[in-house]
Structure 1
Amino acid sequence: MLCHHCCATLPASKMSLGQWAIEFGTLIATRNLKPKTLADRLSQIQQLVLLLGGPDRQLSTIRPVDAATAIRCVWDTGREHLSLRLHIEADDMFNEAIIAGHVGLNPITHLRRPRPVVRRSRLTFEQLQAIRRISTRRGRQWLVGAIDIALVTGLRIGDVVRLQADHISDDHLLVKHQKTGVRQAIPLDIRLDAARIVLRKVIDRCRDGMKPGDLLICRSDGRPYHKNYLTSAFSADRDSAIPRSAWGEGKKPATFHEIRSLSERMYRAQGQDTKALLGHKRQSTTDLYNDERDCGSVSYKVVPIAGRKKGPTHVAGHV
């Protein structure tokens, strides 16, 4: 029986990297991916072709050292998350090449998966209140409405900007998540206690004077705000409300998306089923949003002293 390396040196195909990239792209297009996901993956495939030696290179000549060098090159430019995506894409691409009989070895199998460090800061409720005050002072009521909707529902920014004034049925806000396709009916009576905010009141405020079909968050002429514009406006008010030094050395300021994590953490403390609220299929995904990333106090395990009566097992603090 031949080992992986023997199989790799005796390929059944002379296919080039460029040819296989086209075939692999056609293959993943049959996987019922969302348009943006497919476009991102096709772009990553083209980047891999260039990084691994160009379209004319023979697919079977690519070794682990070639893949490691390519991914490391991207990592060293500071694009750590892209290096992770390229690692995942290359792994899929070579696994399919093995199945198709073009190679006998997946060079990615031997590589450790990159682990990007998340540098984006979490958002605290106090910080969000400060940003909201700046938005109010500047007359950006549409941004205040978007902030309140995101906080009380935990929705992503892309879903917030798509909500319409008539997306109400039987005392529920109907939502179809753009990213996952999950359909939800969020009760209008849902309340985030710590923020003293109720979805019904937020919706009523945003719907004031609107006609059926109008967007809840829109320009004065009824045209929609693009989510990138909303993100930029939020970032501008954030920078006015909170000094850069407050985020910590090496950290990036919190973005609008961090309201989703803040909502999850506040609702979990309240006893709400946050997995259902955020529309996740797995609890592990929801737990990622619950990580405070050192934006608050941290629990430290107490070292016991022999012969002394047991006290608290953990102490809260921040160093």
Structure 2
Amino acid sequence: MDIAILTGQRREGISRMTLSDVREDRLFITQGKTGHMLAVPLSLSLESAGVTLAEVIERCRIDNPSDHFIYSSVRRGGRKPGAVLSDAITGAFTEARSLSGVQFGASPPSFHEIRSLASRLYAVENGE
């Protein structure tokens, strides 16, 4: 969720992010849906999140035998260990949302809502 709030990327893009994408003090991203290429500085931060992109990436490196930021070692149905699937990101978000104890009503927010939240937070902290 920290990667999502800092980068504003879709879950598919987050699942594809690798440590090899980090070079020259930037995270290089090619957006899957649009093909746009971004070079996000590792110093990127949101005061409201209290973390920088560099700090989040460093947390991703801890005990990670993979090149992917978010790694799955689970072998279900013969699947090889590697990048976490987009649906697993959604499932983990849903579980975290439930564990939060916050009552959302009939339409709880999805993981995708983090993109909108990121946009609004950056606008508040940095202007349009």
Could you say which TM-score interval applies, normalised by the shorter chain? 0.7 to 0.9
Q: Is the 8 A contact 1:163 1:216 kept in 2?
A: yes
Matching residue's letter, 2:93: F
- In 2, the alpha carbon distance for the partners of 1:155 and 1:257 equals 9
| Cα distance change of structure 1 residues 176 and 272 upon mapping to structure 2, 3 Å threshold | farther
Shift of residue 239, structure 1, vs aligned partner: 1.7
Aligned match of 1:172: 26
Q: Which has the higher helix share?
A: 1
1:165–1:210 Cα contact (<8 Å) kept: no
Which of 80, 104, 115 is the matching residue for 1:247? 104
List runs of 5+ in structure 1 lacking aligned partners.
Answer: 1-146, 274-319
Q: Secondary structure at the match of 1:180?
A: coil
Task: Specify every segment of 5 or more residues in structure 2 that has no aligned partner in the other structure, as ranges.
Answer: 75-80
* Whole-angstrom distance in 2 between the partners of 1:241 and 1:151: 17
Structure 2 counterpart of 1:262, from 103, 110, 117: 117
2:78 equivalent in structure 1: none
Deviation by residue 1:128-178 (Cα, 9 ceiling, x = unmatched): xxxxxxxxxxxxxxxxxxx11001111111100000111112100000000
Aligned letter for 2:85? Answer: H
Provide the aligned length of Structure 1 versus Structure 2.
122
1:209 Cα shift? 4.3
Deviation at 1:240, TM superposition (A): 2.5
Alignment deviations for residues 208-246 of structure 1 (CA, whole Å, 9 cap, x no partner): 3446x6111011364222111220121122123235xx3
The CA deviation at 1:247 is 2.3
**Separation in 2, partners of 1:252, 1:235:** 12
Rg larger for: 1
Pick the aligned partner of 2:10 from 131, 135, 156.
156
1:217 and 2:70 aligned: yes
Which residue number corresponds to residue 227 of structure 1? 86
Note the C-alpha offset of 1:261: 1.0
Residue pair 1:192, 1:198 contacting (<8 A) in 2 also: yes
Q: Secondary structure at the match of 2:83?
A: coil
Q: 1:154 & 1:237 partners in 2: Cα distance?
A: 19
Contact 1:171/1:187 (8 A) holds in 2: yes
Identity across the alignment (%): 34
Q: Does 1:238 align with 2:92?
A: no
- The TM-score, its normalising length taken from structure 1, stands at 0.36
The alignment's TM-score, normalised by the length of structure 2, stands at 0.85
Task: Output the aligned Cα RMSD.
Answer: 1.9
Letter in 2 for 1:154: G
Query: 2:64–2:71: 8 Å Cα contact kept in structure 1?
Result: no
Helix, strand or coil: the match of 2:20?
A: coil
SS of corresponding position for 2:3: helix
Matched, 1:271 2:114: no
- Does the aligned pair in 1 maintain the 2:6–2:118 contact within 8 Å? yes
